[in-house]
Amino acid sequence: MLNVNSYRVYLEKLVSENSSNIFVNGGIEYASVFISLLLSKANNSVNMFCEGLNPQMMGREEVFNAFQNSINSGVRFRILMEKKDYMGGEPFTFASKHENVEIRCARAEDLEMIDKVLGPGRCNFSVCDNKMVRLEVKPEEYKAVGSFNKPDW
């Protein structure tokens, strides 16, 4: 497995090549690199389904800076949260003050649809600019699969 710095260089190369390669990550440090790159490369929109803007991830300096910069640059965010647990955290508080950010808690029918499409069990996902994707299949381990350019999966 690549160290975190080598992983960052690898992902930045994929971005610069507009690659549709599919890659994986595991662990909070690797997920932080991946998420911060997704957020910093988004130009128009970020759509996410997450546990709830957990400060353990979204509050990490690298991720939070990319999150703030993306929101401040006018990127449209639509965030569907599974839980209300982190509504008092800094990422939620920051995001909720901006008109280009829509945040809502998932309804039972939202969760049913996600389970129907992605299978039962908890997952998180992000889609940026309708082409960059991160599907976190084991949230407790930050294990995810993703691509920066319309993966064919």
**Euclidean distance between CA atoms 135 and 22, whole angstroms:** 11
pTM, entire model? 0.92
Output the six-digit token pair for 40: 């910093």
**Euclidean distance between CA atoms 50 and 151, whole angstroms:** 21
Residue-level pLDDT, tens digit, the chain, 153 residues = 789 999 999 999 999 999 999 999 999 999 999 999 999 999 999 999 998 999 999 999 999 999 999 999 999 999 999 988 888 899 999 999 999 999 999 999 999 998 888 887 778 999 999 999 999 999 999 999 999 998 776
